[in-house]
Structure 1
């Protein structure tokens, strides 16, 4: 069973991943936030994140996002040139800035692109590929264009978030469709979506016998100890979870204080740490952190936890 920390734009960059692995152990597989082309080249910030020395304490897989065969081919070539031996294909991003340009979950229904994806995977036997998908953009049957093509090649896994893009992160998970994919895929399948507690992990494993792993994104941002708790076989009480989260936060804050200049830069990087943690730290502290406009106010807000 494999445990994957889903990438989240604006959150899971190299410093966050490094200090998460340092604090909670490196049992998770980590991913870069999606890497895309800009004017035909890799964005410098994406390349910096992927090649950072902070990645040395974790298993890290770069994730790429694309809209057509040309973009995919170029990204695969560029990632190989920069040392990648594994590549994750983002065909699941639901955000309109990406789907509106034909990327992310908008690719799932594209029959021609599904064929191209399988062809590019087959033509790069030295690279281990994985795929992250949603059920589709607006129709929960759109995946039926993609899975038969992926069945023609070998990937390490297909991570499935069982919603369509138009649902974003709301509405019910469409679990019947996930079960269909699990039954029809010749490649290993990973479950992603609405995992917040150790009990949620148990339920997924009990409901879907035969899955290859669990992928968690927002649930780990809210409760960074979640996978460590599950693997230890003992759920931590909230006081212990928050104490460890504060240690993690202090490491990250110290890093940003040493490498960034001025309150505004530091606050812009550290405040997202708490975005999903309202339930863990309490609404009073969470709101105070959100409102903090300088480091003095920020530190006072964190002291409320």
Structure 2
């Protein structure tokens, strides 16, 4: 099985990716949080830092683009190719209201005529391999059957399917019936994305879908960064290793972000996932969330690691 780390805005940037690779080293491909494609000859500083090859040494990174404009996609993908990347990923999955309102991300899925024309243009001038991360529709799962006919017209490197519609956000359960149909209908390789949080989830999925060779995990890995080690080797997450991993991310954020508030914002976002794997975590989650200074945060995190255990996955 190949394992991919899903892109998550504000969470899986280069600082997190490098720490994850250094401590866990079981990911076949990382995907960058989306870059909004445009006609500029320069990337925004934040975007450039995130995909600079020197900030991503020793990992396979696939930059992800968000747009519904073919010329912007082509222009930006050419800039990315000049940096040495051989693949870009098109975001057709983001469910965020601000993205969808501009007919981008999963909002683009309801504009099938425009989407088809967009794909035709970007593949006719492709500077590199193009993979696609998609949901199964905007408003209804039935939309997928028109979408797969469109996708099948193009040589997509990999079709990464998150079998929810935009309106689900992350609620409800993945629609595995539609995913099963995606496997049989797609002319392009298919990767599964969605709700793998535990070894049990993984085992159940692979029994039901034994032909799947690639899985993308996002929230499950943010909660338990050692999940792949557990899946592959039955290696349970060690509390000291997790603390060292946390400390590496924390120290690296302190080097590049100005002020307690900015550092804490990033760390609190990460803890909204990671706290889930600790026993009796409610009071510690509250303390971390209420921290306004680094010393308050340090005390809350230290007491969590000292007093609680990691739950069996």
Q: Compared with structure 1, are the counterparts of its residues 290 and 272 closer, same or farther at alpha carbon in structure 2 (3 Å cutoff)?
A: same
| CA–CA distance in structure 2, aligned partners of residues 26 and 203 of structure 1 | 21
| CA–CA distance in structure 2, aligned partners of residues 162 and 117 of structure 1 | 21
Shift in Å at residue 110 of structure 1?
A: 2.4
2:272 to 250, 257, 275: 275
Q: Compared with structure 1, are the counterparts of its residues 73 and 146 closer, same or farther at alpha carbon in structure 2 (3 Å cutoff)?
A: farther
**Residues 229-254 of structure 1 deviation map (CA, whole Å, 9 limit, x = unaligned):** 1111x151xxx443322110011112
Give unmatched runs, 5+ long, in structure 1.
none
Name the residue aligned to 1:252.
249
Structure 1 segment 102-121 matched on structure 2, within 5 A: 102-112=103-113, 113-121=115-123
Shift in Å at residue 84 of structure 1?
A: 2.5
Shift in Å at residue 187 of structure 1?
A: 1.0
Give unmatched runs, 5+ long, in structure 2.
305-313
Taking structure 1 as the reference length, what is the TM-score of the superposition?
Answer: 0.91
Name the residue aligned to 2:259.
262
Name the residue aligned to 2:285.
286
Name the residue aligned to 1:2.
2
Shift in Å at residue 96 of structure 1?
A: 0.6
SS at match of 2:187: coil
Name the residue aligned to 1:101.
102
Q: Compared with structure 1, are the counterparts of its residues 87 and 39 closer, same or farther at alpha carbon in structure 2 (3 Å cutoff)?
A: closer
| CA–CA distance in structure 2, aligned partners of residues 18 and 45 of structure 1 | 16
Name the residue aligned to 2:240.
243
Name the residue aligned to 1:19.
19
The answer to whether residue 77 in structure 2 is matched with residue 80 in structure 1 is no
Q: Compared with structure 1, are the counterparts of its residues 87 and 37 closer, same or farther at alpha carbon in structure 2 (3 Å cutoff)?
A: closer
| CA–CA distance in structure 1, aligned partners of residues 209 and 189 of structure 2 | 12
Q: Compared with structure 1, are the counterparts of its residues 228 and 47 closer, same or farther at alpha carbon in structure 2 (3 Å cutoff)?
A: same
Greater Cα offset, 10-19 or 154-163: 154-163
| CA–CA distance in structure 2, aligned partners of residues 27 and 38 of structure 1 | 30
Q: How many residues align?
A: 300
Q: Compared with structure 1, are the counterparts of its residues 147 and 118 closer, same or farther at alpha carbon in structure 2 (3 Å cutoff)?
A: farther
| CA–CA distance in structure 2, aligned partners of residues 72 and 141 of structure 1 | 28
Name the residue aligned to 2:198.
197
Name the residue aligned to 2:294.
295
**Residues 125-184 of structure 1 deviation map (CA, whole Å, 9 limit, x = unaligned):** x61221100011111122233322322332231111111001100012211111111110
